[in-house]
Structure 1
Amino acid sequence: MESTGDYQIPKHIVAVSGLFQNEQNETLLVKTNWRNDTWELPGGQVEEGETLTEAATREFLEETGIEAEIIGVTGVYQNVTSSLVSVVFKGKALTTEITKQIEEIQEARFVKLTPENIADYITRPHMCSRALDALESDGGVPMESVQVQPHQLLHRLG
């Protein structure tokens, strides 16, 4: 096989979000300033050197002030137009008082989210399908975070 010489390393944005529920099985949703036409699952971009689970719990805490425990992965999604890969988690809210909201978050609240009412809250189809997948999943998709040279398992779900 011969090289064509024009290969470029792809650059993607990796994002995380999560369906986090309290003891009453209510889901925490946020409304951002730049997408205020819809509610959505809390989340954001993964920072360099951060594991996916670290990013998910950090974003959740930053956006809502609530600490969370990750149960598992519910799906991986790709937006080809923006080169975005999104990993969606399911988890438990360990605290319930919404206290800390960064400037990008307009509002956050727990709602009794169901397949029947999900479109009343999450109006963008791609966000709705991700939330619905997470709502109906047990979070059983395996995921690992590893370090290489030397090899070390940092975190495993599933």
Structure 2
Amino acid sequence: MPRRVDYYDDPAAPAANSMVPSVNVVVEDDAGRILMIRRSDNDNWAVPGGAIDLGESMAQAGVRETVEETGIECEITGVVGIYTDPKHIILYTSNGEARQEFSILLTGRFLAGEPTPSSESTEVHWIEPARLTELNMHRSMRRRINHYLERPSTPYFD
């Protein structure tokens, strides 16, 4: 199975050969739980997300990716930050693409649906914020979620 390998400030990381704008979405339900997926390509926990396709906006991509990966419909409500750290390289073993991080972290409001795994997620759950530290996730995802939980008054940029 193709894998995703995340490197951070690692001399063993391949040189980046692409940069693809992508989105991640932090969706909360009415109880304040956060929608999380266990990724099928690296077994890490993350909020849903993926590349912005040509012809769609970042909000449309966020809604689409959330439905595709989780079965949950949401409405995009805001921006937490934009993450472009060149020290974070994402290797896709299926094609050798080594991507420099470029992720826009959005917030979303739950509209409908039941958590349902997909080909990109082996598990989908609503998680209490206090339990997020128990989940195995890459440091870049944990950083994004922590920024969200801090409830900043302005978006984060790097």
Normalised by the length of structure 1, the TM-score is 0.73
Offset, 1:56: 0.4
Q: Is the 8 A contact 1:74 1:134 kept in 2?
A: yes
CA distance in 1, matches of 2:69, 2:142: 19
Q: Pick the aligned partner of 1:59 from 59, 65, 74.
A: 65
**Matched position secondary structure for 1:53:** helix
1:129 is matched with 143
Gaps of 5+ in 1: 1-9, 142-158
Q: Is the 8 A contact 1:20 1:90 kept in 2?
A: yes
2:101 is matched with 84
1:95 is matched with 112
1:5 is matched with none
Code of the residue aligned with 2:29 in structure 1: it is N
Q: Which runs of 4 or more aligned residues in structure 1 lie more than 4 Å from their structure 2 counterparts after TM superposition? A: 138-141
The higher radius of gyration belongs to: 1
Gaps of 5+ in 2: 1-16, 90-98
Q: Pick the aligned partner of 1:120 from 112, 119, 134.
A: 134
1:5-24 deviations in whole A, cap 9, x for unaligned?
xxxxx952011001100000
Structure 1 pair 11/104, CA: closer, same or farther in 2 (3 Å)?
Answer: closer
Q: Which one scores higher on RCO, CA 8 angstroms, separation ≥ 6?
A: 2
Code of the residue aligned with 1:105 in structure 2: it is S
Normalised by the length of structure 2, the TM-score is 0.73
CA distance in 1, matches of 2:151, 2:136: 18
> What is the count of residue pairs matched by the alignment?
128
**Matched position secondary structure for 2:77:** strand
2:124 is matched with 108
1:23-62 deviations in whole A, cap 9, x for unaligned?
00000000111120x2111101110111000000100011
